[in-house]
Amino acid sequence: MSAPAAHACGTYAAYQRHRKRGEQPCDPCKQANTAYARDRRTRSEVRRDDALAGAARRRAYRRLADAHPAEFRRLYVEETIRGHAQSA
């Protein structure tokens, strides 16, 4: 069985390989690392924004439920029934 072929440059994995070997990463690998880092930051910001929006929504629901308990309970029951009907 032969040894696996070396991975081509221009990927995040190849960038990491350069670093592990103590080498200066080549330009294609630097570009791949930059793209990977940019994508990771973007996903993290989206997740953070989603988490903040979800927390705000939960606080708003709680405030509405506290201000209008009977109406909130009625709407909740309606939506629960609708959700069960749609999933059946």
Is 36 contained in some domain?
Answer: yes
Q: Quick check: is 1 in a domain? A: no
Instruction: Say if 28 falls within a structural domain.
Output: yes
What is the tally of structural domains in the chain?
1
3: Cα within 13 Å, side-chain hemisphere: 3
Q: How far apart are CA 42 and CA 32, in angstroms?
A: 15
Residue 6 placed within a domain: no
User: What confidence tier does 1 reach under pLDDT thresholds 50, 70, 90?
Assistant: very low
pLDDT at position 6:
60
Cα(64)–Cα(10) distance, rounded to whole angstroms? 53
Flag whether 4 is in a domain. Answer: no
Tokens of 67: 């201000």
The pLDDT tens digits of the residues spanning 25-46 come to 999 999 999 999 888 888 888 8
Domain containing residue 47 = 12-87
Whether residue 70 is contained in a domain is answered as: yes
pLDDT tens figures, 53-87: 999 999 999 999 999 999 999 999 999 998 888 77
